Amino acid sequence: MCGIVGYTGPRRAVPILLGGLAKLEYRGYDSAGIAVLEDGVIKVHKQAGKLAGLAERLQGYNGQARTGIGHTRWATHGRPSDTNAHPHSDCSGRFAVVHNGIIENYLELREWLGSQGHQFTSETDTEVLPHLVEHFYQGDLVEAVRRVVERIRGSYAMVVLSADKPDKLVAVRQDSPLVVGLGQGENFLASDIPALLAHTRRTYILDDGEMAVLTPEEVKIFNRCGEPVEKRVFEVKWEAAQAEKNGFAHFMLKEIHEQPRALRDTLKGRLAGDDSAVVLKELEIDDGKLRSLRKIFITACGTAYHAGLVGKYVIEQLARVPVEVDIASEFRYRQPLIDEGTLVIVISQSGETADTLAALREARRLGAPVLAVTNVVDSSIAREADHVLYTWAGPEIAVASTKAYTTQLVAMYLIALHLATVRGTITLEERRTIIKELKQLDSRAELILSNGHLIRDLARMYGGAEDVFFIGRGLDHAVALEGSLKLKEISYIHAEAYAAGELKHGTLALIEKGVPVVALATQKNLFEKTLSNIKEVKARDATVIALAMEGQKELEKVADHVLYIPPTNPVLAPVLAVIPLQLLAYQMAVVRGCDVDQPRNLAKSVTVE
Ligand code: AGP
């Protein structure tokens, strides 16, 4: 997820582009760049690192360009570097492009363009775009961009600047956000509204497949068939600061609501069209090696460790390989029994967590191949692992990890299904069933996110609690651990999670009148057992907030409150079950007036031991 901007009008473009990018830097900060049209020539200024570096370099730059484009990068294809920074140009330098998204078929396009004599300078998927414009351009920029769109697959918000069309910008949106800012005698483009608010509140929110053609005087919108579209003006009511959160009060709430998109993006291009298999091109471990695997270790910290616990259940259940899950700071010192039949999986949102990085190095020292599941391209863990599976959650700014966790769960399902397919431990029908349900996780998550009112009420009722217990069996226990961590880290309430069957061996002593117990009961084969554990805590006058799949009506007879999630395959339930727990923790923290996005004593990426 990157930030892009564009401007055409009577004012100097450079300060407007830099100002817009500064409002989008939370979307990615691996590199920054602008391209402006100066006396008929496109001038590109770009470099790796934060925007501040580029702004400093351009201080005193008094170019008179009136049209330009800009970009702040969240690296996906190609490490953060000056060369991989956007904007990218074609061979002649007559076209420059900024892009947010992923061009899935870029490798075949690169090969084809290469055979036509085009020279490439970067590792990015994006660079095929200006070369394609160059290939199709015959005097009509709009027509050239239309032909480019016919050839590319994937997600893209892109803006094209041409030396031949001084004050024109052509932009297209497909699966990545793009907004047009409507000015007086000038017009703007941006990935998100924060970049526009200093200039206008009148906007067009582009829909998928739409193209915008901007000049200072007018903005024309076309649909994917090239027909003109009458767009409704969207008048922005937000304050700039608020807009960065897209209207949400906190980044955490925004990121919770971004999960449907993050799930879709993490599955994109990784499921066979006929639901028969997962396609993990990036996983270059040969099938023979996977078949001869005797043991898997998963190691990580915090929320990522909790994702690993779900990974254990799913990989053992589907692929029948024994899995051990370790907290990274323990794994690295306990001389784990690793041999040539072992695979080590490390999970890390930031890709920079010191303990996890050290666990990775220890595993490699002991001779195990390491597969990293991470959300940051070219992070240290990505660079040092033998194989990398990226989650596409986009930048996660709130310290409390939410969307990264659910995308890590999806990564675990993809790995488990791939292993099970290679090892022949599940049938084609079983695979199809799970893959079909995987594809519906985003819409089911939307449903949960659309009715959070009960959770707000529960937060008001129990926000003053001093202790909260989470219980569950099997996969529900793994999710209960994540739910209690979320509550602890942002509301500072003492919260514990327990395997529901373990309570009676001690902790039940802590249960007394009014103590809230969040009980997860999403696993059909464990439902009856969990119900009896709920009755155990009710017998000690606990207040039970149960969480189950729609239809489990008998819970209403036992629990004080029941949160329902849409029915899904029990093995996939953790992705949906955690969302009400994220919202509950968030609302409890708000009720207690806590600094939700930057909780005390914590950091987003713990790069120290
Ligand atoms: C989770 O909300 C916390 N921010 C923390 O536990 C985090 O999961 C842990 O520090 C691991 O971070 P990583 O995924 O970036 O490695």
The alpha carbon of 302 and the centre of ligand 1 are apart by a number of angstroms equal to 5
Kindly state if the Cβ of 582 falls inside 6 Å of ligand 1.
no
Nearest CA to ligand 1 atom 9: 302
Residue positions counted in the chain:
609
Closest CA to 448 of 549, 314, 558, 304: 549
Cα-Cα end-to-end distance for the chain: 29
Q: Are 491 and 459 in contact (CB under 8 A)?
A: no
Comparing 57-61, 537-541, 582-586, the range with the smallest average pLDDT is: 57-61
pLDDT tens for 330-349 read: 999 999 999 889 999 999 99
| Segment 123-149 mean pLDDT | 96
Q: 603: pLDDT confidence band, cut at 50, 70 and 90?
A: confident
Cα separation, 265 vs 391, whole angstroms? 8
Residue 339, pLDDT score = 87
- Mean pLDDT over 368-390 rounds to 93
pLDDT confidence bin for 240, thresholds 50/70/90: low
Q: Compute the distance from residue 222 Cα to the ligand 1 centre, in Å.
A: 43
Beta strands in 136-239 (DSSP E): 154-162, 169-174, 179-182, 187-190, 202-205, 211-214, 219-222, 234-235
Question: Ligand 1 in contact with 596 (CB < 6 A)?
Answer: no
Residue nearest to atom 7 of ligand 1 (CA): 302
- Per-residue model confidence as pLDDT tens digits over 485-509: 999 999 999 999 999 999 999 999 9
Would strands 467-472 and 516-521 be described as parallel, antiparallel, or unpaired? parallel
Contact assessment for residue 203 and residue 233, using Cβ atoms and an 8 Å cutoff:
yes
Looking from the CA of residue 302, the nearest atom of ligand 1 is 6
**Does 307 sit in the ligand 1 pocket, CB within 6 Å?**
no
Residue 604 annotated to the active site? yes
Active site residue 91: no
Looking at residue 502, what is its pLDDT?
97
Q: How would residue 243 be classed by pLDDT, with cut points 50, 70 and 90? A: low
Residue 431: the pLDDT is: 96
- Of the pLDDT bands very low, low, confident and very high (cuts 50, 70, 90), residue 546 is very high
Ligand 1 binding pocket mutation candidate from 389, 606, 607, 608 (most atoms within 8 A of CB):
606
Q: Determine whether the shortest distance from the Cβ of 400 to ligand 1 is under 6 A.
A: yes
The stretch 468-494 carries a mean pLDDT of 98
Q: Is the pLDDT of residue 104 over 70?
A: yes
Summarize the confidence of residues 296-300 as an average pLDDT.
98
489 CB within 6 A, ligand 1: yes
**Beta-bridge partner residues of 159:** 98, 171
Residue 303 CA to ligand 1 center (angstroms) comes to 5
391 lines ligand 1 (CB under 6 A): no
3-class SS at 588? helix
Q: Is the pLDDT of residue 457 over 70?
A: yes
Residue 480 pLDDT greater than 70, yes or no: yes
148: confidence class by pLDDT, cuts 50, 70, 90:
very high
CA–CA separation, 546 and 558 (whole Å): 9
Q: Atom 6 of ligand 1 has which residue's CA nearest to it?
A: 302
Residue to mutate, 303, 389, 600, ligand 1, most ligand atoms under 8 Å from C-beta: 303
Tell me the average pLDDT across 552-578: 96
**pLDDT tens-digit map of 9-56:** 999 999 999 999 998 888 888 899 999 999 899 999 999 998 999 999
Q: Is the CB of 357 under 6 A from ligand 1?
A: no
pLDDT tens-place string over residues 433-444: 999 999 999 999
Residue 356 CB less than 6 A away from ligand 1? yes
State the average pLDDT over residues 351-378.
94
Active-site choice (2, 231, 486, 488) = 2
**Closest atom of ligand 1 relative to the 402 alpha carbon:** 2
Lowest mean pLDDT among 52-66, 232-246, 322-336: 232-246
Over residues 214-218, the mean pLDDT reads 97
Q: Could you tell me if the CB of 315 is within 6 A of ligand 1?
A: no
| Residues 6 or more apart in contact with residue 42 via CB below 8 angstroms | 35, 36, 89, 93, 94, 95, 96, 161, 163
Secondary structure percentages of the chain, helix, strand, coil, to 5: 40, 25, 40
Higher-confidence residue of 587 and 236: namely: 587
Distance, CA 400 to ligand 1 centroid (Å)? 7
Edge-first strand order for the sheet with 41-48 is: 41-48, 31-38, 67-73, 3-8, 187-190, 179-182, 202-205, 234-235
Report pLDDT for 25: 86
Tokens of 430: 């079983």
Substitution candidate for ligand 1 out of 332, 349, 484 with most atoms within 8 A of CB:
349
Cβ atoms within 10 Å, residue 207: 14
pLDDT at 237 over 80: no
Stated pTM of the model: 0.78
Distance between Cα 566 and ligand 1 center (Å): 28
Ligand 1 proximity of 407 Cβ (cutoff 6 Å) = no
pLDDT bucket at 235, cuts 50 / 70 / 90: confident
Name residue, tokens 């240290």.
380
Active-site residue (options: 43, 529, 538, 604) = 604
Q: What is the DSSP letter of 390?
A: E
Residue of 353, 402, 488, 586 best suited for mutating to test ligand 1, as the one with most atoms within 8 Å of CB: 353
Q: What is the pLDDT of residue 609?
A: 77
Give the β-pairing of 494-499 and 467-472.
parallel
Q: H-helix or E-strand containing 428?
A: helix 428-438
Mean pLDDT for the chain overall = 94
| Residue among 65, 74, 171 nearest 124 (CA) | 74
Q: What value does the mean pLDDT take over residues 272-300? A: 92
Look at residue 241 in the predicted model and tell me its pLDDT.
60
Share of the chain above pLDDT 70, in %: 99
What residue owns the CA closest to ligand 1's atom 16?
348
CA atoms within 13 A on the CB side of 486: 29
Banded model confidence at residue 394, pLDDT cuts 50, 70, 90: confident
- Counting ligand 1 atoms within 8 A of each CB, the residue from 298, 306, 350 with the most, and so the one to mutate, is 350
Mean pLDDT for 341-360 is 96
- Evaluate: CB of 605 within 6 angstroms of ligand 1: yes
